[in-house]
Amino acid sequence: MSVTVGTVAPDFTLKDQSQKEVKLSDFAGKKNVVLMFYPLDWSPVCTNEHACMVNDMKSFETLDAEILGVSVDSVWSHKAYAEKMGIHYSLLADFQPRGAMAEKYGVYLPEKGITGRSIIIVGKDGKVAWIKNYDIPVLPDLKEVASALEKVKTAAA
């Protein structure tokens, strides 16, 4: 099952690289959430994607957004990866059961055992506001994501 724009985003609770539980519903009414689904820590395109996000964090903070990276990697892999990459936003471990959260969003690829590359913006109202799926070797255009986020922020104002 995949989500569509306008539907309520499925809630979840996953641990981040600091073993902290992160719940989507905790952001309701407070911040827009950018769910950045990616296949695996340490892979070349994912590393580029996160490097770009780290470099663009200031612009995303001004857009009143919380960035949540999501992959099937373990908390420990995320911890090492975040430290190496200088990532200060949450990397969520959709590890056990593997891909269960990504499955709710329609971006888990069971035949490969990984999460597809996708960015989903959830508005403060808890509804899916924007979706973009990418081929695995394609680096998302973060300017396009920021532009979509600006529209979500403006529409909610």
Residue 124 burial (CB count, 10 A):
18
Residue 75: its H or E element: helix 75-85
Q: Is 145 helix (H, G, I), strand (E, B) or coil?
A: helix
Catalytic residues: 46
pLDDT at 1: 63
Contact 121, 149 (CB under 8 A): yes
Average pLDDT value for the chain: 93
What is the pTM (predicted TM-score) of this model? 0.95
Token match 């695995």: residue?
A: 136
Range from 56-60, 71-75, 79-83, 108-112 carrying the lowest mean pLDDT: 56-60
pLDDT at 86: 92
Instruction: Annotate 33-61 with b (16+ C-beta within 10 A) or e (fewer).
Output: bbbbbbbbbeeebbbebbebbeeebeebe
pLDDT at 59: 81
Q: Does the pLDDT of residue 22 top 80, yes or no?
A: yes
pLDDT at 48: 86
Find, among 49, 17, 20, the residue nearest to 135 by Cα. 49
Mean pLDDT of 121-127: 96
